């Protein structure tokens, strides 16, 4: 990262917001390349877009898993602010009760998997839950709720 042209911005974001440095590196170095490969105009992303995105993550406005979708939207609509983009892109965070509801729904629909694999069903179910939430909830929260729900069923 030290040799990157984004190093100054990286240092600024890490100092200003409580977000893991690995997430900042991914957002600054990898996600724009991924977006460009998909055909999104990633070159339109500005330093301010990145700052605003991390302000949203740090404040809980979006989960870090929603960064790709948020940056994609901002690349396509650079005139928007990150807070406008969160709403327009449908990335408004889901609270714990909302996550619990999604987890219960997914677990109920895959009860045969839970009975067959027990606690090992958490991995496949995690993928289904995260797919449904689309970056609207933190993965650690989803994992904790999912494990608790599986344990309740197995009792």
Q: Specify the pLDDT at position 143.
A: 95
Spatial distance between the Cα atoms of 40 and 18, rounded to a whole number of angstroms:
28
Q: Where in the chain is the domain with CATH 1.10.10?
A: 96-154
Would you state the pLDDT for residue 148? 95
Which pTM does this prediction carry? 0.74
pLDDT of residue 90: 82
Fold (CATH) for 96-154 = Arc Repressor Mutant, subunit A (1.10.10)
Annotate 1-41 with DSSP letters as a single string.
-TTSTTHHHHHHHHHHS---HHHHHIIIIIHHHHHHHHT--
Residues of the chain with pLDDT under 50: none
Q: Which of 82, 88, 76 is nearest to 35 (CA)?
A: 76
């Amino acid at each position: 990262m030290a040799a990157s042209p984004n190093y100054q911005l990286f240092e600024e974001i890490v100092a200003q917001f409580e977000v893991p440095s690995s997430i900042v590196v991914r957002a600054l170095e990898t996600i724009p390349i991924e977006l460009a490969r998909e055909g999104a105009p990633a070159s339109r992303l500005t330093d301010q877009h990145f700052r605003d995105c991390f302000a949203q993550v740090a404040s809980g406005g979006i989960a870090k898993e929603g960064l790709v979708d948020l940056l994609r939207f901002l690349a396509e609509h650079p005139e928007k602010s990150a807070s406008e983009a969160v709403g327009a892109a449908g990335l408004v965070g889901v609270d714990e009760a909302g996550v619990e509801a999604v987890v219960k729904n997914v677990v109920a629909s895959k009860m045969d998997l839970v009975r067959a694999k027990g606690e090992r069903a958490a991995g496949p179910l995690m993928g289904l839950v995260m797919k449904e939430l689309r970056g609207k909830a933190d993965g650690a929260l989803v994992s904790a709720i999912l494990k608790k729900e599986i344990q309740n069923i197995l009792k």
